[in-house]
């Protein structure tokens, strides 16, 4: 009887410690996509020309060119979904899309917008495209993490999203 009780107790303890498949995410579901509100590393650098935002953005990729392209798409995505913190004489900038879950609602639009060589590149005015070095280039276990300085044409990006009926116009009221 003691053996049976010990066996049942150990079995229940082992099953309680094992991860459950119910509610668990698959690898595909848990990957970080462009539209995640929390995966952008940005640092304001100063004030740009009228209608632009200047900041440093980090990107991760298998090689340096891929990490640079990821940083450019993250710069645009941060402007759209997260907003920018204030820095060196500038006030914080709210995100272009303030609607909750806008990245899910308009996912078809943003999949096309952020595809490789997509429309988002039109809104990057100036970058440090040369291979980053020193503290702006880190070797990771599976690739590189690089930082580039970007100037995003923020007002033009907002106008395009308004024209495509993705963002609400600022002059529309509440």
The 10 Å Cβ neighbour count of residue 66 is 16
User: Distance (Å, rounded) from C-alpha 126 to C-alpha 102?
Assistant: 27
Could you list the pLDDT tens digit for every one of the 174 residues in the chain? Answer: 777 777 777 676 676 666 555 444 444 443 444 445 457 888 888 777 888 888 899 999 999 999 999 999 999 999 998 888 876 666 788 888 888 888 888 889 999 999 888 899 999 987 776 777 888 888 888 899 999 999 999 999 999 999 998 888 776 655
User: How many CA atoms are closer than 13 Å to the CA of 91, on its beta-carbon side?
Assistant: 3
pTM (global) more than 0.85:
no
Q: Are 59 and 69 in contact (CB under 8 A)?
A: yes
């Amino acid at each position: 009887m003691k053996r049976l009780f010990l066996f049942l107790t150990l079995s229940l303890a082992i099953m309680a410690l094992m991860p459950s498949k119910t509610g668990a995410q698959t690898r595909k579901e848990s990957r970080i996509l462009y539209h995640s509100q929390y995966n952008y590393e940005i640092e304001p650098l100063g004030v740009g020309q009228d209608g632009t935002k200047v900041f440093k953005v980090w990107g991760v990729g298998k090689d340096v060119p891929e990490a640079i392209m990821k940083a450019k798409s993250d710069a645009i995505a941060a402007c759209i979904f997260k907003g920018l913190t204030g820095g060196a004489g500038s006030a914080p900038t709210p995100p272009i899309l303030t609607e909750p879950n806008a990245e899910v609602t308009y996912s078809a639009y943003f999949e096309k917008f952020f595809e490789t060589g997509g429309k988002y590149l039109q809104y990057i005015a100036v970058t440090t495209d040369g291979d980053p070095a020193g503290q702006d280039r880190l070797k990771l276990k599976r690739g590189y993490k690089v930082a580039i300085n970007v100037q995003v044409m923020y007002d033009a990006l907002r106008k395009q999203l308004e024209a495509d009926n993705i963002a609400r116009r600022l002059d529309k009221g509440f």
